[in-house]
Amino acid sequence: MEFPFAEPPAYGEVQAIADGLLWVRIPLPYLLDHVNVFLVQDHDGWAVIDTGILTPEALAVWQALFAGPLSGLRISRVIITHYHPDHIGLAGWFHERHGAQLLTSLSSYALCQLISQGRNEQAVRQNFDFFLRHGMSAETAGLVAIQGKEFLHRVAPLPTTFQRLVHGDSLTIGGRSFRVLTGDGHAPEQVMLHSPDEGLFFAADQVLEKISPNISVEATEPTSDPLGHFMRSLRLIEAEIPGDVLVLPGHRRPFRGLHTRCRELIRHHENRCGIILAACASRPHSAAELVPLLFHRQLDPHQMGFAFTETLAHANRLIRRDQLAIIEEKDRTLLDLVR
């Protein structure tokens, strides 16, 4: 893999990728401490691809950018790749400040609106019971089950109208023509943009360097197969997008070597499936018992939620392959090797 930019732009600074294409970073209050935002010159202003999260720190960086290197720029459109707060969090702010039109997938718009209504006590209880049944302690489950409530504080209200982006659409931004692709696994209908003429691929969180995006099984879809969807999306990308494009991801550095990275990600998750199979060969395990086999560091409640639901994603992939079986006991669910 090749990395054309040795260092990312500091907060409040701008990196030019090409003529009419800029890269900025917005801070996040997590272990992954930033999100990439790209600005593309449009006919009547600039289009912003993703926005960052609704925090005072993120707003301060945007205000510094508009007072400095982006001074005088009008934002005409906001393109959101998926509904997670670090990407959609300030879409409503841009609409209010600039009158920017929102473009995103139906899944992203609908899910953001749904979650923004608030997680009621019934939903918290559903999550708590889900984690408890899969082996998490009551104390930890209580902390993890309420994590989704922070969505309300991290996302500005969306505009009441939007333009839907669908896989296979063409999208023109200024003088550039893009093909819309959508991927799954990390988020439903995650929007990606490919410019064949310029060899650019806005990959969102579908393909990142060094790290894999979180792949989660939610309590509302306990038998879902997001890891299968993720790997299928990677294979689709490899089949449809040339390997020498410049990948502009949602986090970390832009890079070349798309096909290599897609294969690395698939191997990474296959290896993790292998760890689970090896553990369950000796005896049945709960999902909670498998988490430390895949995640070796200390985890706070926010990280534990991601680690736990990602462990379940690997287990569900193996269940779909008929390599693992579910054992339902009175008060817990175990995973056993199919023999």
Beta partners for residue 18, in sequence order: 21
Ramachandran bin of 169, using left for φ above 0, alpha for ψ from -120 to 50, beta for the remaining angles: beta
- Supply the pLDDT for residue 41: 98
Q: pTM score, two decimals?
A: 0.95
CB atoms within 10 A of CB 292: 12
- CB of 36 closer than 8 Å to CB of 50: yes
131: which 2 tokens? Answer: 């984690």
Beta partners for residue 200, in sequence order: 195, 246
Q: Where are the domains of the chain?
A: 15-337
The type of residue at 154 is R
The type of residue at 284 is P
52: which 2 tokens? Answer: 């960052």
Beta partners for residue 15, in sequence order: 23
- Supply the pLDDT for residue 313: 98
Question: At the top level of CATH, which class does the domain 15-337 belong to?
Answer: alpha beta
pLDDT in tens, the chain (339 residues): 999 998 999 999 999 999 999 999 999 999 899 999 999 999 999 999 999 999 999 999 999 999 999 999 999 999 999 999 999 999 999 999 999 999 999 999 999 999 888 666 788 899 999 999 999 999 999 988 887 667 778 999 999 999 999 999 999 999 999 999 999 999 999 999 999 999 999 999 999 999 999 999 999 999 999 999 999 999 999 999 999 999 999 999 999 999 999 999 999 999 999 999 999 999 999 999 999 999 988 888 888 999 999 999 999 999 999 999 999 998 899 999 998
